[in-house]
Amino acid sequence: MKESPKYAVITGASSGIGWCISDELAKKAYSIVAISNQAVKLKRLKSELENKYPVNVHIIDCDLTQYDAAQCVFDYCQKKNLMVEVLVNNAGILVFGDVVRIDIKNVKNILQLHMNTPVMLCRLFGEVMVKNRKGYILNVSSISSVMPYPLISLYGPTKTFLRKFTRAFRTEMKGNGVSVSCLLPGATATALYDANKINIPLALKLGIMKKPEFSAKVGVAALFKKKAEVIPGLLNKITMLFIPLFPHFIISLIYRKKKNAISKFF
């Protein structure tokens, strides 16, 4: 089988939505540059995709919270002469707790991973896409981008930045043959959530959570339809509309009375 010469760069590809997006793009004949700091899972992804599809999978075991991570990824693709047509900024971490009690390293990591690294990847690969007059970029934000809630004070606002940046960047790139889209998933059955604290099968059954395969399909479809934003699932769409209207004094009351009530919700 002939390998596909066109490539998709995907961060956080070793699990969850990133893994499923990798599968969706390989199904569309894109070879993959899969990036994560989970080397064993990346090798498993490489083996699975190369056995299923006529594509090549490059894996980069990389800590995307490092300040030079984006440049390292870009330099790798340039050195290998890979024709990158798609960029997916998916990697994310959920840091839960009061900001002043979160380890300083974790604070720096989430800021770097959700904002600096995606922006730099957009900057570096975006320039090449503009020269080629073709490209697709998908940034994975979250419905929490409309939730300025305590205990996820780092997660929600950094996802807000990524959402707003994506919309502005989309406008800049539109006349250059490059389409930029934003995927805003809600709660998804991935490693972000502790199965010991949350009944994931029940949440899936009730529609509170979605499977990563579903969010990946919706995101990739929206990317190639050149949509600005897409929210997987009706409940998530309703949440995006009504959560901003929820009186913040109620959130403050819940926070003061019982932090566990919020932690169980998220």
Mind telling me the catalytic residues? 155
What's the CA angle centered on 264, arms 261 and 265, to 5 degrees?
85
Residue by residue, DSSP assigns 198-229 as S-HHHHHHHTSSB-HHHHHHHHHHHHHTT-SE
Q: Which of 206, 207, 205, 209 is nearest to 193 (CA)?
A: 209
Helix (H, G, I), strand (E, B) or coil at 265: helix
